[in-house]
Structure 1
Amino acid sequence: MFALSKNPLARRVLRPAAVLVDRRVTRHTDRLRPEIEELRREVAALRAEHSSLGLLVDGTARSGPRTPTAAQLDTLVGQVAAVTGAPRAVARRNVVLAYRNVIALEMLGVGRLAGSTQNVCGKLATVPLLAPADHPDVLEIGTLYGLFAASLLRMLHRAGIEPRLTIVDPLAGSQLQPGTREAADPTGTPVRLDVLRANLAFGGTPGAEARIVRGFSGDDDVRTRVSDRAYGVIVVDGDHSADGVRADLEWAEKIAAPGGTIVIDDYGDARWHEVKQAADQHLSRPGSRFELLGTASTSAFLRVRD
């Protein structure tokens, strides 16, 4: 309200003006009241919608929340563009498509995709831009529930590649990492063949026809069965110990197709420091067929020399 002066004369002079101002303010407020109430209703509706959206993207049964910031996505787009040499517009398109796949398959599938949103979307967006079309065979070492594999098949299909998938995993009921404590998975879902097959169905025909070889990537019989072809894409996401990563990369040297792509998951992740250590040691060896193209989030991408 309008504050009157303490001087009696001034109060008598100013009182009519103050009353007039008060009346005008009241009338103006009355006119705005419907608009204010409408704004309140809109805010309440937005809060309700945000709550519903949160149920779709929160991290309760995942590796974390699926709500990256605009800055995080922009950083990821720049990394994908740098690794692949693609224009930023193309990199952004692939990151957006990857994100949509992640949300859709985690809602419909059984279990979860392992890794942060940036980590998963970085791999899904980058691989189709690097994968050689003339070598459509894909090998995934370590799959968990198979949702990443199904997502990758969909992304490769979008890029015009008809992939053939081979998976190597012990499918031992839970995620295995030597030297670490086995915590219960946040989804409560067992790592089993039936779960894997259910999720691979989301990858279309290539998922339904995927070859699944149960066992560890270091087992002689597993390697014999899987080494029957040259792979255009190899995802190394199995044993995260230095010895395990080193052994998988040595094997990949023998079965990777010329011009192919090697993906090293959790490269640079502080929780798995031995992954980067072993990968860097392998890349420094004379005669290696692999060259480091760069990283996107916590994945390294290697090109296979001809």
Structure 2
Amino acid sequence: MNSRTLLRSSASRRLLRPVADLIDQRIERRIRAADARRPVQDTDAIEKQRLTFELLVGASGRGLSRTVAKGSLDRLYREVAALAGDRGAAERNVATAYRLLIALESLGVGRVAGGTMNICGKLGTIPLLDPPNDEILEIGTLYGMFSTGLIRMMERDGRSPSLTIVDPFAGVQLQPGTTVRPDPTGTPVAEDAVRTNLALAGPAGVAARVQQGFSEDADTRVAVSDRSYGVIVVDGDHSANGVRQDLQWAEEIAAPGAVVVLDDFGDPAWPGIKEALDEHLKDDTRFTYLGKAAHSAFLRAA
């Protein structure tokens, strides 16, 4: 390059520099403007995510939130692992139970009765305790959604559950000492609702035996005492006297090695449940207390 060409090139660069500076300034202004808008966009996205999450797991439609706290979840993992003897299996089953709970309440009518950790604890633990047979009795079902979930959890474990349900189906949830009021979901407590939910469990749910009546009634007991049950879930009358009667009946119909679950055990709202179990275990009983997960006690029949 000769000196004349070099001079022309330098002059061109000097002439173009203001243009380049102007372009750089415009680009910088656009970047700053985009950065200024981004927080608004991010805030909108976060709000959408929050609303979506609240619709999925919040209290709306069921009267009880399904959100999970780390401390409660870690404690449940430990409690289920202590019962099952396997931390990995405990975490897997509890996580599966949680997803199942959300799915069932999304697809079914009504809700599953109880707190999130309590439900996941029961659903996750029962299969891990290896019941001696696949006959299941649930005393008190509300909308049948817990039993629907238990069928699924047992089938995931390679079992062939056969379900029997006993409930008065009084249109509302009945408990001594509480005010009778419509369910937060707005769905009447009726056998039709239970059947709808059980259908979500496939053939085993459709084939379930549903007996209307109170568990202390002689006719009700006769109708379903035709077999020995490998799993008995006691979730009916929460008074001390009611729980005592259900435990005494369970003594008669539990198969050797059966798993008996006493719901809401240790819940301060229902002191009669712990009182009834403590008194029952002082008697001549087939049951051994295995431990608890959330607010459920687990027993093993001799």
TM-score norm. by structure 1 comes to 0.86
1:303 paired residue number: 300
Does residue 128 (structure 1) correspond to residue 127 (structure 2)? The answer is yes
Distance 1:48 1:221, change over 3 A: same
The one-letter code sitting in structure 1 at the alignment partner of 2:108 is G
Indicate the residue corresponding to 1:59 in structure 2.
59
Q: Which runs of 5+ in 2 are unaligned?
A: 1-26
CA distance in 1, matches of 2:266, 2:36: 51
CA shift, 1:183, in A, is 2.1
* Aligned residues: CA RMSD: 1.6
Segments ≥4 residues shifted beyond 6 Å: 27-30
**Greater Rg over alpha carbons, structure:** 2
Q: Find 2:139's aligned residue among 138, 141, 144.
A: 141
Distance 2:130 2:231 in 1: 6
Aligned twin of 2:238: 240
CA distance in 2, matches of 1:103, 1:53: 12
Partner Cα separation in structure 1 for residue 179 and residue 81 of structure 2: 37
Equivalent residue, structure 1, for 2:228:
230
Please give the per-residue CA displacement for 1:63-105, whole angstroms capped at 9, x wherever unaligned: 510001122111111111012212x221111111000011000
Any conservation in 2 of the 1:170–1:216 contact (CA below 8 Å)? yes
Question: What's the counterpart of residue 4 of structure 1?
Answer: none
* Cα distance in structure 1, aligned partners of 2:92 and 2:63: 24
Structure 1 gap ranges (5+)? 1-26
- Cα distance in 2 for partners of 1:293, 1:183 equals 35
Q: CA deviation at 1:61?
A: 2.7
Q: Quote the residue 1:288 is aligned against.
A: 285
**What is aligned with 1:102?**
101
Equivalents in 2 of 1:29, 1:252: separation in Å? 77
Task: Give the 3-state SS of the residue equivalent to 1:270 in structure 2.
Answer: coil
Q: How does 1:1-306 map to 2 (within 5 A)?
A: 33-35=33-35, 37-86=37-86, 88-132=87-131, 134-285=132-283, 287-305=284-302
Equivalent position of 2:18 in the other structure = none
Return the alpha-carbon distance in structure 2 between the equivalents of residues 280 and 84 of structure 1. Answer: 23
- Quote the Cα distance in structure 2 between the aligned partners of 1:59 and 1:92: 25
Q: In the aligned structure 1, how far is the partner of 2:153 from the partner of 2:248?
A: 27
Query: For the residues of structure 1 that align with 2:43 and 2:71, how far apart are their CA atoms?
Result: 25
Determine what percentage of the aligned residue pairs are the same residue. Answer: 53
Q: Is the 8 A contact 1:295 1:301 kept in 2?
A: yes
**Structure 2: how far apart are the matches of 1:126 and 1:36?**
51
